[in-house]
Amino acid sequence: MKGIAHFISGIAAASFIPAAVQQSAQGAWVLALAGAWQQYAVRFDTPLREIAVRIGPVVTTSQVPVGATSVRADARAKFSAPMNYTYDAEVKIDIFSGPSFRFERKGDAIAITFLPWHRAWSHSLTVAIGLGVIVGLLWGWLAGVVVALGYAVHVLEDQLGAMGSNLLWPLTRGRFPGLNLIRSGDAVPNFLTVWTACALTLFNLDRFADAPRLPAAPYLLGVVALPIVALVPTYIAGRNREKPRPVETLRQADLVAETQETEV
């Protein structure tokens, strides 16, 4: 999912802890603890055994072109060994979204792994627990629970996509396959995540106040449940109409989409 969806989900999770809300209301706690870039694209042309690079415009951190920048011709290089590449043919490298590949020899071919470092140790529930323990020892149990809970929500949300994460690092070395229920860059899951997280945060802020004003059942049904019921079937229907793609292509698309803007 997008960073903003993870960020707000973490706040929503922390808002279920009464002490965190109360300390935030008193000012002692806060729940939520430029340049330019030459855009370019890399294409792996396996039938011709070529790697091509297409130079794009100079863009800002918002991926907006700077002035009238020209686009130069493709540069190509031949390679002799067979290549095992199952992702999208062209990969666009934008500011803050430059992917990396791992090239390994397997038999007589070169196997390519897309972003081998991503969602490894950093997307682990054991790390979430460990970090929570460390923070708890330094700043108290409440800080530790908030940090661990927010971190774990991030990890579990990413597990809904195709890529998956190494949930039990360092006990395990590889990623657990994702559930493939959503795409990281799809507008509907990101919107619903942000909307639901904001709605739950507001509900908990009111619930733990001295004089709550929101009626629980109508609010949860109308503000939280209704948008989910209205949008999820439409999203599922749209997914079912999509042309099937290889799992590795879906995983690559998930990773690239995490650092790009969501189009609605």
| DSSP string for 4-48 | HHHHHHHHHHHTTSHHHHHHHHTTS--S----EEEEEEEEEETTT
For 53, which DSSP code? Answer: E
- Neighbouring C-beta atoms of residue 196, cutoff 10 Å: 19
CA 198 from chain centre, in angstroms, equals: 18
Cα 226 to Cα 188, 192, 220, 239: the distances in Å are 14, 11, 8, 21
Within 8 A by CB and 6+ apart from 98, the residues are none
Task: Output the pLDDT for position 160.
Answer: 87
Residues paired with residue 83 on neighbouring β-strands, in sequence order: 110
Asked if residue 170 has a cis previous peptide bond (ω within 30° of 0), the answer is yes
One pLDDT digit (tens) per residue for the chain, 264 residues:
655 666 677 778 877 878 777 766 765 544 544 345 677 888 887 778 888 888 877 776 556 676 655 556 678 888 888 877 766 667 777 655 555 677 878 888 887 776 666 667 888 999 999 999 999 999 999 989 999 999 999 899 888 887 778 899 888 887 788 888 887 778 899 899 999 999 999 999 999 988 999 999 999 999 999 999 999 999 999 888 877 766 666 666 666 665 454 433
